[in-house]
Amino acid sequence: MFQTILFRFIRNCWGLISEPYATMRRLSSEGNSIDVVGVWCAVLVGFVFIALLRSRSLHPFLLTYNFGLLTTGVVFTYLLTVLGIYLVGKLVGGRGELKTVVITWSMTLLPTLIWFIAASFSYLILPPPRNLTMLGKLFSLVFVSGSVALFFWKGMLYYLTLRFGMRLAMGRILIASAIIFPLGILYSIVMYQVGIFRIPFI
Amino acid sequence: MINDPIFESVKRRWEEVMMVPPQRVGPLTPLYKRVIPLFKVHPWRVLVLAAGFIALGSYILLGPMLVRIVSLLQKGF
């Protein structure tokens, strides 16, 4: 079972990097719970590492609190987003199923996880604040480039979720996005003020 | 023929490909058909290049402010 989850997770990761269009199309037709479990296992392992860095201590209470806060926030956001995409997709005439959206949207957690892990590692190796030397500027450029590239990747997977998850055409995807984006921005502001996400990247 | 594994595989692939109708974006359809293949296979070539240009543009536009933004982002995980 573990081998199947690991094999499919690696296959999906490689597919989303090299052929995101074909991979998302395949997942929307033959994906199942094993694919979702693989991504979530990776997310939870990543969050343990992030909780360690966030709390800057090995105190069990602080670790559990940070891990619990982050995981609850991400699970809640994920469920809300899946439901939002499904309902808005149906509203604009989508023909997809909730199960397909659950599978395809879980794949969009991958760029998020990579960003969180990269930011954590960079925090560990080169703690902020950056200074205005040549190396500081160069690092800033690389960090921004990486973040923007991951953001574009996430955007692409969002488009493919609506395309294959809800079977929408471009016009309807734009209408759905005009409804989803303002709601997402509002939700991010609330999450920021509550102190769960400092960066609205989920 | 119907029970042939190759036929079954081709049929399954055909159904997968035809799951959604071809995308049409009005007068922009030819441009869409030319640009989208760049994102279908190994999109990283385009994404990283575009991200690099955006980062460079942001630095030219914001200057030292970008370095401060990165410091904030690094604490954002």
* Cβ contact A130–B55 (<8 Å): no
Whether chain A has a CB inside 8 Å of the CB on B20: the answer is yes
Whether chain A has a CB inside 8 Å of the CB on B18: the answer is no
Count of alpha carbons within 13 angstroms of residue B52, beta-carbon side: 6
Contacts of B70 in chain A (CB under 8 A): 128, 130, 139-140, 143-144
Most confident of A158-172, A185-199, B58-72: A158-172
Using pLDDT thresholds of 50, 70 and 90, give the confidence band for residue B53: very high
3-state secondary structure of A7: helix
Question: What residues 162-191 of chain A have any CB closer than 8 A to a CB of chain B?
Answer: 163-164, 167, 169-171
Percentage with pLDDT > 90 across chain B: 26
Contacts of B17 in chain A (CB under 8 A): 25
pLDDT surpasses 70 at B2 = no
What mean pLDDT value characterizes chain A?
87
Tell the residue number behind the tokens 């480039």, with chain if given. Answer: A145
Calculate how close chain B gets to A19, using CA atoms only, in Å: 5
Using pLDDT thresholds of 50, 70 and 90, give the confidence band for residue A107: very high
* Cβ contact A152–B25 (<8 Å): no
Contacts of A172 (CB under 8 A, 6+ apart): A92, A93, A94
pLDDT tens track for B10-38: 888 887 777 788 888 888 889 988 998 88
pLDDT surpasses 90 at B52 = yes
Percentage with pLDDT > 70 across chain A: 94
Most confident of A54-68, A95-109, A124-138, B21-35: A95-109
Using pLDDT thresholds of 50, 70 and 90, give the confidence band for residue A85: very high
Whole-angstrom CA distances from B39 to A10, A16, A148, B7 are 21, 11, 16, 30
Residue of B nearest to A129 (CA): B71
pLDDT tens track for A25-53: 999 988 888 999 999 999 989 888 887 87
ipTM metric: 0.83
Contacts of A149 (CB under 8 A, 6+ apart): B44, B47, B48, B50, B51
Contacts of B55 in chain A (CB under 8 A): 141-142, 144-145, 148
- For A119-133, what is the mean pLDDT? 80
Whether chain B has a CB inside 8 Å of the CB on A131: the answer is yes
